[in-house]
Amino acid sequence: MKLRITDEAKQQLEHIQDSERPIIRLFYDTEGCGCGVNGLPTIRLEHEERKTDFRVESEAYPVIIDDQQAIFFKEDMKLDFVRGTFRLSSPDGILNPIIPIKDVKEGATV
């Protein structure tokens, strides 16, 4: 699995990242979506890796994903920053067009 981060997204991540949470987590957010199958692929800042995580290939930042959530993501993805929000996409299309900065900074609950 690979995540390419555009220059625009890198710049925004530099502004919001802190030393307490230096890792980007690919996260399948199901909160408010009904059940565990309905949700949105997104990103969150994280402070540590867990035993069930594996590393995602990325040149810019350390990126992780929980083994059980990997099925909801694509093998090749891009993180961009467009019109004030992050956007996660793949060659097949957009996975999540609007990832608010506030949500990224909140962190993930896996």
Residue 85 belongs to domain with CATH number: 2.60.300.12
Q: What is the pLDDT of residues 55-66, one digit of tens each?
A: 999 998 999 999
User: Taking the model in full, what pTM does it have?
Assistant: 0.88
The structural domain count of the chain equals 1
Categorize the per-residue pLDDT at 109 as very low, low, confident or very high, splitting at 50, 70 and 90.
low
How far is Cα 66 from Cα 30, in angstroms, rounded to an integer?
14
Q: Which residues share a beta bridge with 110?
A: none
- The residue range of the domain holding 66 is 2-106
Backbone angles phi, psi at 37, to 5 degrees: -90, -30
